[in-house]
Structure 1
Amino acid sequence: MEKNNWQQPLLKRTDQDTESHPAMIDIPKFSTVDLRTVVPLLTDMLVLYSALTPYRSFELHNLFGQLLLQLQNGMRKSSPHARSYILGEKVASYLANHLEQPFDSGEMERELHYHFDYLARCLKQYSGMSPLQYRHHLQIERAKRLLKHSELSLIKIGEQCGFQDNNYFTRLFKRQSSYTPGEYRKQYQVFHVDSS
């Protein structure tokens, strides 16, 4: 059986995005389908299509997107690789929710109830990154948001992103963005608070 590649590469986002990013969806030839959710969607789509207007066209696109998601979810649930995909999502969520604490593989194992090596493989399949790479990506993205939208000091921003060592924060930030945090703030800060 062919192994599905469910890797979810993180998309580059900015606060200047005006249109959605291209997306991919796997449509199975054969899969378990929950008719209780799919049949009402198909019925609603037929009703909209019978008297199509520009407004109803938008609703039809929305329902079609829901149908595709239902088909994809059915494929994931019935796949032998479903557990690794779900665990990849759980590891990604765990890392996002624990950015301020020091990275602790043992704590991750205890909370998610799997060996760290297996969790790391699942995250790699899901995102293309190791847990530390994924954590660093999340930390730098949070730092960018804080640099753009707050007046917090660079040290406070580093701490809120889980960096106890400000020099390490600066080096990692520059490696991933080609700016130091201070340079990034000067370049991209959205507003300035006047203290006078």
Structure 2
Amino acid sequence: MLVLEPGKEHRGYRPTDADTEVYWIHFQYPPTSKPMLVEKNNWQQPLLNRTDQDTEAHPGMVDVPKFTAIDLRIIRPLLKEMIKVHSVLSAYRSYELQTLFGRFLMELQNGMRKSSPQARSLFLGEKVASYLADHLELPFDSIQMESDLHYHFDYLARCLKQYSGMSPLQYRHHLQIERAKQLLVHSELPLIEIGEQCGFRDNNYFTRLFKRQTSFTPGEYRKRYQFIVMD
């Protein structure tokens, strides 16, 4: 595949010597932002700041290669479905077409990630992030993580750092505080029990860490943001 920049003249350097099927996709960038043509050497995925009170979508990003090889077994069915929808396009199906286009872009990006030199570390970074999310209620145990994921902890930590910008303990703390926020706002559980469900055996440590990351104690955060349902 090849991305042609708008406003420029493009031509091939020789005729094709094989039967060629061409799919053209025309798309526009928002007038407020222009594409950045950069060498892709970093796949870091820092977490966005979010709350339960978000009312607007957070900015997103997708990386599209200027030229690359693609897996037609995955891409061709998407392209054919896009053509099918476009042939009977209506106002309702326009969104369906945009959704298919979004999937198409994600497949291109995934292909870039899998073929990049950082593919293995990216995969392991995602794996460590999922592992930490699934083990929040248990004490942090680097030896157990090594045993479960079959890699040395230092290597797993480097992969997660490359993926998220955080160490395993920092990432775990972020997930713990996010879970605590949910429980404080949406439940009536005692503060000590909330700390335990988020993996804190020491309530004082839970309170100190929570205040360091949010500027509130757990009790103050609950009073400020808890939803109250009136009968």
Q: TM-score, normalised by structure 2?
A: 0.79
Given the alignment of the two structures, is residue 61 of structure 1 paired with residue 98 of structure 2, yes or no? yes
Distance 1:147-1:86 versus aligned 2 partners, 3 A rule: same
Given the alignment of the two structures, is residue 22 of structure 1 paired with residue 35 of structure 2, yes or no? no
CA RMSD of aligned residues (A): 1.6
Specify the alignment match of 1:148 in structure 2: 185
Per-residue deviation, 1:72: 1.1
**Aligned 1:182-193 pairs, distance under 5 A:** 182-191=219-228
Q: 2:79 aligns with which of 28, 42, 52?
A: 42
Specify the alignment match of 2:196 in structure 1: 159
Corresponding residue SS for 2:55: coil
Specify the alignment match of 1:136 in structure 2: 173
Q: Which runs of 5+ in 2 are unaligned?
A: 1-38
Distance 1:3-1:39 versus aligned 2 partners, 3 A rule: closer
**Aligned 1:45-194 pairs, distance under 5 A:** 45-191=82-228
1:24-82: CA deviation from partner (whole Å, max 9, x where unpaired): 11112343422111111111212222343211110011000110111111111112211
The CA distance in 2 between the partners of 1:182 and 1:140, in whole Å, is 13
Per-residue deviation, 1:13: 1.8
The CA distance in 2 between the partners of 1:76 and 1:91, in whole Å, is 17
The CA distance in 2 between the partners of 1:173 and 1:140, in whole Å, is 6
- C-alpha contact 1:32 1:75 (8 A) present in aligned 2: no
Moved more, 23-32 or 127-136: 23-32
Corresponding residue SS for 1:191: coil
**Aligned 1:3-22 pairs, distance under 5 A:** 4-22=41-59
1:130-167: CA deviation from partner (whole Å, max 9, x where unpaired): 10100000000000000000111000000000001000
The CA distance in 2 between the partners of 1:141 and 1:127, in whole Å, is 16
The CA distance in 2 between the partners of 1:193 and 1:140, in whole Å, is 27
Query: What is the aligned length?
Result: 193
Q: TM-score, normalised by structure 1?
A: 0.93
The CA distance in 1 between the partners of 2:91 and 2:230, in whole Å, is 44
Corresponding residue SS for 1:143: helix
Q: Which runs of 5+ in 1 are unaligned?
A: none
Moved more, 177-186 or 4-13: 4-13
- Report % sequence identity: 75
